[in-house]
Structure formats: C-alpha cells, structure tokens
Amino acid sequence: MAFSVYRTLLFFAALAVNAEAVELTPLVNLFIGTASGANGGSGGNAFPGAALPHGMAKVGIDVSTAPRQAGYVHDNSSITGISLMHDEGTGGNTNGGYGIFPLFPLSNCTFASCPVGIRDRAALRKAGTDSAAPGYFTTTFTNNIKLEATSTRRSGLIRFTYPTTGPNHVVVDLTNDLGRSFSGGSISVTSAGRVKLGGTFLQSYGPSNYTVFACYDFAAPQSQSAQQISAFGTYQSTTLSAPASITITANATDLSFPFSGSVSPEQAGALFAFSGSNTVLARFGVSFHGADQACANAEEEVPAWDWDAVQGASAGAWEDVLSRVAVDTAAEDATVVELLYSSLYRASLVPANLTGENPYWDSPYPFYDAFFCSWDTFRTVHPLLSLLSPREWGEIVSAYVDGWRHTGFIPECRANTKAGYVQGGSDGMIPLGDFATKYGGRASELGVPIDDLYQALVDTAENTPPDWYTVGRQNTAWKTFGYIPTNWVDPSGSTGLPTREASRAFEYALGDFAVRQAAIALKKSPGDVVKYSNRSMNFKNMWDASVTSDGFSGFAQRRFPNGTFAFSPPNACSPVDPVGHSCARGTDNNVGFYESSSWEYSFFAPHSMASVIALMGGAATFVPRVDHYFSAGYYLAGNEPGFPMPWAYHYAARPDLSSLRVRKVVYENFNTGVGGIPGNDDSGAMAALLTFHILGLYPVAASTQLLLGSPLLSAYTLRNDVLGTRTAVRVVGFDKAGLSAAPPAGAAVFVKSVTINGAPGPSLCWIDFSDIVGGGNVEIEVYGDAAAAAKAGCGPGPRALPDSLETGGFSV
Ligand SMILES: *[C@@H]1O[C@H](CO)[C@@H](O)[C@H](O)[C@H]1NC(C)=O
Ligand SMILES: *[C@@H]1O[C@H](CO)[C@@H](O)[C@H](O)[C@H]1NC(C)=O
Ligand SMILES: *[C@@H]1O[C@H](CO)[C@@H](O)[C@H](O)[C@H]1NC(C)=O
Ligand SMILES: *[C@@H]1O[C@H](CO)[C@@H](O)[C@H](O)[C@H]1NC(C)=O
Ligand SMILES: *[C@@H]1O[C@H](CO)[C@@H](O)[C@H](O)[C@H]1NC(C)=O
Ligand SMILES: *[C@@H]1O[C@H](CO)[C@@H](O)[C@H](O)[C@H]1NC(C)=O
Ligand SMILES: *[C@@H]1O[C@H](CO)[C@@H](O)[C@H](O)[C@H]1NC(C)=O
C-alpha cells in the first residue's frame, strides 16, 4: 500500500498498549475504494477519515469536486475543509451527504481580509501526504499546514500544525455541508473560544431535511497546546446575490438565519486568530439534540483533550473488531490479508450508533442511522454482523424494530436520520428474519424485543403505508394479485413510484420468506408459516416462459392486472443494454427492474433456487445459463443484485464452478488500490461481500445456511463473543496457486471433504451457522482434480444440496 505504512507501524509500536501478538490495525488500508467516480472511475465512495466502529462522528477532509459522496476523493482536487460527519460508500447525492460544519486552517492572512469563503480558501494537498490508520487521518497542504483528526463516538480532536507561530487562523463554517444545502441555522461564539452551531440541511437520498448541531472548543489546555486566541469574530455574505463577497466582523458573537424552507448560498461562520504556538488544537462534539448537548458530549468523551488517549482508544476498539477474524498474517498471502482487514474495517463503519441522539422520539432502545440502504446491506453486511458482532447487531436490529414501533413500518433506507427512498422491497425485513433464526433464543440477552420484532415483520408484510415512496411495500397489489401489476391504479389511494414491478416482486417474496423463517424460529402460529411460505413463492408469478434471449428461455417480466405479460428485453438495464433504458426508481423506468436486468433478477430467489432451476429447464440449462450470464456481460460486479451470482452453481451441484468463478470475480474486480472496489462500497456491502469470498462462505438470506467453498486463506479463526466461541477453520491442502483470477489446472481450489469437529459435515456445498460459529474445528480439505470435483458435486448426503423451499428445504 502506498500510504505511509512505515510511519503508521512506528506509531503503533510506540503506542504498544496491551499489544496482542500482531497488531491488525496497521494492516488496514483506508484508501481502498477512494478513487474518483468521475469520468468512469471506479468511485467506491469509501470514507478514509477518523471514526470509531459504528461511530457517529466521522471526521475527514472534503474535496471541492463532485462526485464526493464521502467527502474524500483520492485525487489532486482542492480541499474545502475538514468536517465532522460522513457517510460510507453510499450513492445518493453526488455532492455527498453530511460533511457538516467544516473547519479550515489559514495562515498568512490578516484577520479582516482572510479568505474565509469556501471558494477562496480551498487549498491543494502536497502529493503523498494523505495518510490514515483506524482512528486517525492526516494530510498536509501545499502551504505546509498539516491537518490531523481523531475521534470518539460523538466527539474528537482536530489539530492544525502551521509553519510558523502565526498569527494563524481557523475558519468555522456554519453553512457549507457537502451538499451545499444550508436551509437555516445559527452560530454563537465566545471570546473564551467556544463555538455552538446548528443547521438544517437536505438529506443525501430522500425527500426531507435534518437538523444537526456541533460544538467547538478552542481554549485548549496549555499542556496540550500553547495556543492563545488573539482575535475572533463572525463572517457572512455581504449580499446573497453575490455570496462570495464576505464581511468579517471582529468581536461579533452571533449570527442567525431563520429556517427558510429553501437552500441558501449564504457563506457564514466564525473566524479565530491564534498566536503563541504553531499548533491549534480544536475539540468538537456533535449532537442531534442541540448545541449544548454537543458541548456536553465533547466534555464527556474528550475531557482532557488527550490526543494519544483518544487515538489509542479508537485503535483499541478497531483492534477488537478486526481480531474477530484471526489469521496467521505472516503465513497467508499478503494481499489477501490486506483485503481481509481493510474489508472488515469498512464493513464496521456503519450503521452509525446515534443512541441517545434520537431527535424524533424518546425511547429506551438504541438508535442507529445510515441504514443506507437495507437494499444494499441485507445481503452481506448484516450476515457478517451475525457471525462476528452479535452485540452490535442486536442494537442495530433493535433500532430497526424501534423504527417500526414509531412509524408502523420497518425502516428501509434511513439516511441522515430521516426515511430515504425505498429501492425495491422493504429489505429491512430480511435482517430481522435472519436475527430471529440465529439469535431468537438469545434476543433478551441482546436487548431485542423479539415479539415486537415479529409484529414489525407482520405489519410490514401486511400493511400498505399511505406513501410507500420512503417506507414499506405496496402490499395492496401484492396481496390482491400475487404479483405487482403494471399500470394499476391502487384503490387504497396509497401512493409510491409504481415502477420496478418485476424486481419488487422478487424482493417482496424474499421479505415474506423472512417472516416465514421468523415464524418458525419463534414458534408463531402454523398458519403464519403456511401463509408466508406460500407468498414467498409468488416470484414465480412474474415468470414468462415464452420469452427467450440468447437461446435461453423463460424470463421474469412485468405483468398487467389482467395477467398478460408486458415484454421488455431481458438484457434491458444490463451493463450491455444496447438501448440505454432508465433503470432507477423514477417513472421513466419502463423496464420493470431496478438497477438490474431480467437476465440477472430472474436468478434471484435465494430461498428457492431449485424453483429457479426448474423454471429455467433444469440443471443442464441452468449451468450454461449462469456461464452465459457472465460471459455475455450481464454481470455487474459493482452492484448488489450480482452478489450471489458467482455462487449460483452450488444449486446445480457444481461447487467446483463456483470456486473458479469466485476467484475470477475477486481477482478481476477487487484489489488494494484506490480503485480497488468495483462500485460504491454501499455502507460496507462490498467490503462484507469480499470478506465472505475470502472466508469461502456466502450467506443465504434469512437462514442459518451459508454456502461453503474453498477459502482464500489456509486457516482462520472466527471469534463470537456473545456465543463465547472461537471456531478454527483449516484448509487442508491449501494451495496458493489458487489465488488468481484463473488458477492453473491442478491448483487445489475444489472442496474434497468437510469435517466438523472430526465428523463428516452434511455437505460439500454448505455449512450451518451453528457449525461455523459453534466453537471447535472445521476442516475443509481441498484438491485440484477438476473432473473428480465436478463429479462429486455437493457430496452424497441426503441434504447435500443447499436448501430450497419448494423442494422441502428450510424445514423445521
Ligand atoms: C491533477 O491531476 C490531473 C489528472 O491526473 C492532471 O491533469 C492535473 O494537471 C492535476 N492538477 C494539479 C493542480 O496538479
Ligand atoms: C503570503 O501572502 C503574500 C501576499 O498575499 C504572498 O505574496 C506570499 O507569497 C504569501 N506567503 C506564503 C508563504 O504563502
Ligand atoms: C475587539 O475586542 C478587543 C478586546 O476588547 C479589542 O482590543 C479590539 O479593538 C476589538 N476589535 C474591534 C475591531 O472592535
Ligand atoms: C424541510 O422540512 C420541513 C419540515 O418537514 C419542510 O417544511 C421544508 O419544506 C423542508 N425544507 C426543504 C428545503 O426541503
Ligand atoms: C452505542 O452507544 C451507546 C450509548 O453510548 C452505548 O451504550 C453502546 O454500547 C454503543 N454500542 C456499541 C455497539 O458500541
Ligand atoms: C398458495 O395459496 C394459494 C391459495 O390457497 C394456492 O392456490 C396456491 O397454490 C398456493 N401456492 C403455493 C406455492 O403453495
Ligand atoms: C391485458 O392488458 C393489456 C394492457 O392493458 C392489454 O394490452 C392486453 O391486450 C390485455 N390482454 C388481454 C388478454 O385482455
């Protein structure tokens, strides 16, 4: 990795508190996925700043050019500030979400004429000075001012080191969030160096706005910095018609801009001058309750302004998260190790723990933000939490349930604390069903009100909100037709975007399967089990057997209320769509699929892949159809609907083909460079996906089954602190020749046998949750005999094939 590894290692060696055998935090490369998404760049939108695991504060620098969803882009564009909160890997507004209340250091100006406005102050970084480690970020401007940041959950420290003792200046910016969406707010300044801010800004992905507060303190203890405040004041646009023309007023203490209901270009904030030191240390706190609470958060979490203590605590928290997957870092392939720990890191940045900061309702339950969106995260982020982080997951699941308690529906896309847009199904249902199957019996220990969880699932499966634009599902249609009809006026009067009919049906079916799974796990009424089992098969109602494409027949299609199918080409909205259809949520989407094609969504029934295989004409056509899906370019590595596809061969008893396909997908699409993620990280969805590929696992939605393959590591140990287990997975015959996009013939990449605590496992194709985190030993023997592996399939056992509902799988 190209970013000051050496210095980072030295830093942690010096810190050396309760060091385990190997420090894992230095193995994290925070710059993976930070390449620009402009001009066809990979655009991972990863956030490389300072944050705790699931921290609310995410401090980092912001670039002046869009796209910049997470503020940072690893290019040479100028920097407009260092701000307090960010998203991780999301899409949404290409200008970005959050990025609130930036600071900016200035030297070489006189107070009354400092360039405080966002355009005038922007500065370039010195090449190669961006550096980051878990809990720490730094860069240096070409004028030699160095920026550093570290954080706690809601607070932290920012330090500027200037070339001289000054006077040096710091701008405190009230109005410029990343989206430039200031709609009102206020700032107050004291001569003692306390700044309180509050502002209303627009959501990045949703129709609403949110109000957030911060507190900065500049009166650092002299033991931490010898800085003296030599001047202070406020600034604001002289006139709104030319907002870049700014008036700075020394000794002024207050500015207030009433909430206007529309976005203002106002430039406003505070300016400080410092003398006596070449460093300026700022302490910050953030809150959704008010500026006083933000100050209290800073006082509570950073009482002594002790940089090393804050950074050390953050690094320690990350060490705990990373060590939940233990590997022999010296023995394994160095690239795989770097990808593994960097991915575990990014998969633990969000959802963000806003407990105690819920601005909307009082509740004894945790509050989390950045469910952005469940459509992205249900596939891999939540299953990874279920394996390694059940305590955090319990809080997150509780927060989903609490969302239902106060709105009537399970949240789908909570962005900037407000409901965002629903992409497809109400996919928060799936992690809730998953939780019931894996931790239903430990729910009270994990603080999850499990009967409420079940009611949340049922209500979301049954009721239709007045506006299913931002929450819930169009259940009127689903229950009336058993599919989502095209061109139907919903008699309930409920409104939402009527598009994506076919892909929504597949997701509603999976959501109903999640209710079915919860009903079984929680011993709810047999009637519920029957009902939701039945409805989860309704994806078949979208199947038009008469449609053909590239020699394959049977594809999901939209359907009119009278039952007739509405044709759209199966390759529409695929990466090789010759027409260039609209494929998002909008009413211009006349294809029926969201961010994906019929070629792709027709495979999407993770709970009943045997049904898909049957619809497609059996395994003999299914396997070449999966091959063709990849070779014809219908696969898009950078978007969620493609996630399970490299593993699809498992369901046709060809795990050997999955082993090869997973390697091809990993090595052609992921690497340790800034462009090393094939699309948006999507709140850690890509990171969690890559983690599963490396571990040789893929989670089956809302079930305890994980598809099993040959890992990219020779051994690893999974630690689950709630279950109190360490499970050692060893790959017997592991072959580093298999670590490539196209392993040479004979490379040992095929699973030959699986034993669990010495006894043969049930299958070469899957393993149960209770075994992969059950404690004890899992041995996966691998070999290179492709012909034998093709013949062996999933093995001879009666349950060797992964489960499918229609063929009797997922039985009690
Ligand atoms: C920034 O990088 C681009 C592309 O690499 C280059 O064309 C441009 O000259 C650079 N600009 C600066 C200010 O260094
Ligand atoms: C400081 O500002 C002056 C006047 O704008 C400029 O000439 C000089 O180059 C600047 N010095 C530095 C170190 O930036
Ligand atoms: C601001 O207040 C300080 C301290 O009272 C005073 O010395 C200074 O002249 C004031 N500046 C202006 C521009 O009023
Ligand atoms: C912000 O939200 C308020 C209350 O929900 C609404 O009245 C207002 O129009 C919104 N403003 C913007 C700019 O969206
Ligand atoms: C989330 O924040 C609350 C309030 O500080 C805390 O009690 C809880 O432990 C945090 N959760 C995690 C997973 O750190
Ligand atoms: C679901 O229930 C309906 C109505 O009872 C029935 O007609 C249908 O065959 C059932 N579907 C499945 C897949 O069992
Ligand atoms: C069903 O409805 C569609 C759309 O209105 C129409 O084009 C089609 O002819 C109808 N099919 C039948 C069999 O009525």
**Full 3-state SS string of 71-95:** CCCCCCCCEEEEECCCCCCCCCCCC
Q: Is the separation of the CB atoms in 800 and 763 below 8 Å?
A: yes
Mean confidence (pLDDT) of the chain: 96
From the CB of 737, is ligand 3 less than 6 Å away? no
pLDDT attached to residue 573: 98
Taking residues 741-767, what's their average pLDDT? Answer: 98
Does position 9 have pLDDT exceeding 90, yes or no?
A: no
DSSP conformation class of 797: S
**Cα–ligand 2 centroid distance for 108 (angstroms):** 6
Question: Taking the CB of residue 808, how many other CB atoms lie within 10 A of it?
Answer: 10
Protein residue with its CA nearest to atom 4 in ligand 6:
534
**Cα–ligand 1 centroid distance for 41 (angstroms):** 15
Query: What are the Cα distances from residue 99, in Å, to 110, 194, 199, 290, 504?
Result: 27, 20, 12, 18, 33
Q: How far apart are CA 628 and CA 621, in angstroms?
A: 10
For the chain, the helix, strand and coil percentages under 3-state DSSP, each to the nearest 5: 30, 20, 50
Question: pLDDT tens digits for 430-446?
Answer: 999 999 999 999 999 99
Q: How far apart are CA 807 and CA 809, in angstroms?
A: 6
**Cα–ligand 1 centroid distance for 70 (angstroms):** 21
Q: What is the percent of the chain with per-residue pLDDT over 90, rounded to a whole number?
A: 95
Taking residues 777-784, what's their average pLDDT? Answer: 98
Residues touching ligand 6 (Cβ under 6 Å) are 534, 537
Confidence of residue 347 (pLDDT cuts 50, 70, 90): very high
From the CB of 112, is ligand 3 less than 6 Å away? no
Taking residues 792-805, what's their average pLDDT? Answer: 97
Q: Which residues of 128-139 are buried (b: 16+ CB within 10 A; e: fewer)?
A: ebbbbbbbbbbb
Cα 312 to chain centroid, rounded: 25
Protein residue with its CA nearest to atom 2 in ligand 3:
251
User: What is the torsion angle, in degrees rounded to the nearest 10, for the CA atoms of residue 777, residue 778, residue 779 and residue 784?
Assistant: -160
| Contacts for 410 with CB less than 8 Å, ≥ 6 apart | 400, 401, 403, 404, 426, 428, 429, 432, 456, 457, 460
Residue at 783: amino acid letter: Y
Does position 7 have pLDDT exceeding 50, yes or no?
A: no
User: Hey, what CATH class is 45-319 in?
Assistant: mainly beta
Protein residue with its CA nearest to atom 3 in ligand 5:
355
pLDDT attached to residue 747: 98
Domain boundaries, the chain: 45-319, 337-807
DSSP 463-515: ---SBTTTSS--HHHHHHHSS--SS---TT--B-----HHHHHHHHHHHHHHH
Q: Is the separation of the CB atoms in 82 and 149 below 8 Å?
A: yes
From the CB of 541, is ligand 2 less than 6 Å away? no
Nearest to 518 by CA among 420, 578, 439, 586: 439
Confidence of residue 39 (pLDDT cuts 50, 70, 90): confident
pLDDT attached to residue 15: 36
pLDDT attached to residue 4: 33
Q: How far apart are CA 670 and CA 699, in angstroms?
A: 20
Q: Which ligand is nearest to the CA of 63?
A: 1
Q: Is the separation of the CB atoms in 805 and 533 below 8 Å?
A: yes
DSSP conformation class of 278: S
Q: What is the percent of the chain with per-residue pLDDT over 70, rounded to a whole number?
A: 97
Atom of ligand 4 nearest to the CA of 263: 13
Does position 2 have pLDDT exceeding 90, yes or no?
A: no
Protein residue with its CA nearest to atom 7 in ligand 2:
108
Question: pLDDT tens digits for 290-343?
Answer: 999 999 999 999 999 999 999 999 999 999 999 999 999 999 999 999 999 999
Nearest to 532 by CA among 618, 461, 481: 461
Residues touching ligand 7 (Cβ under 6 Å) are 560, 562, 564
Question: Which residue carries 């909570």 as its tokens?
Answer: 414
pLDDT attached to residue 678: 96
Question: Taking the CB of residue 420, how many other CB atoms lie within 10 A of it?
Answer: 28
Confidence of residue 492 (pLDDT cuts 50, 70, 90): confident
Q: Is the separation of the CB atoms in 565 and 544 below 8 Å?
A: yes
Q: How far apart are CA 394 and CA 24, in angstroms?
A: 25
Q: Which residues of 393-411 are buried (b: 16+ CB within 10 A; e: fewer)?
A: bbbbbbbbbbbbeebebbb
Confidence of residue 186 (pLDDT cuts 50, 70, 90): very high
Q: How far apart are CA 125 and CA 345, in angstroms?
A: 25
Confidence of residue 5 (pLDDT cuts 50, 70, 90): very low
Nearest to 459 by CA among 419, 404, 514, 510: 404
Q: How far apart are CA 494 and CA 482, in angstroms?
A: 18
3-state secondary structure of 155: strand
Could you tell which of 395, 396, 721, 722 is best to mutate to test the pocket of ligand 5, judged by most ligand atoms within 8 Å of the CB? 395
3-state secondary structure of 275: strand
| Contacts for 549 with CB less than 8 Å, ≥ 6 apart | 555, 569, 570, 571, 598, 599
Protein residue with its CA nearest to atom 1 in ligand 4:
209
Q: What is the CA radius of gyration of the chain?
A: 27
Q: How far apart are CA 588 and CA 597, in angstroms?
A: 15
Atom of ligand 6 nearest to the CA of 806: 13
> What are the start-end ranges of the E strands in 519-661?
543-549, 552-556, 558-559, 565-566
Question: pLDDT tens digits for 517-550?
Answer: 999 999 999 999 999 999 999 999 999 999 999 9
Does position 8 have pLDDT exceeding 90, yes or no?
A: no
Q: Which residues of 606-620 are buried (b: 16+ CB within 10 A; e: fewer)?
A: bbbbbbbbbbbeebe
Q: Is the separation of the CB atoms in 705 and 756 below 8 Å?
A: no
**Cα–ligand 7 centroid distance for 347 (angstroms):** 47
Q: What are phi and psi of 615, to 5 degrees?
A: -60, -35
Could you tell which of 301, 353, 389 is best to mutate to test the pocket of ligand 5, judged by most ligand atoms within 8 Å of the CB? 353
Does position 21 have pLDDT exceeding 90, yes or no?
A: no
Does position 11 have pLDDT exceeding 50, yes or no?
A: no
Protein residue with its CA nearest to atom 3 in ligand 7:
560
pLDDT attached to residue 67: 97
| Contacts for 585 with CB less than 8 Å, ≥ 6 apart | 421, 423, 497, 499, 500, 594
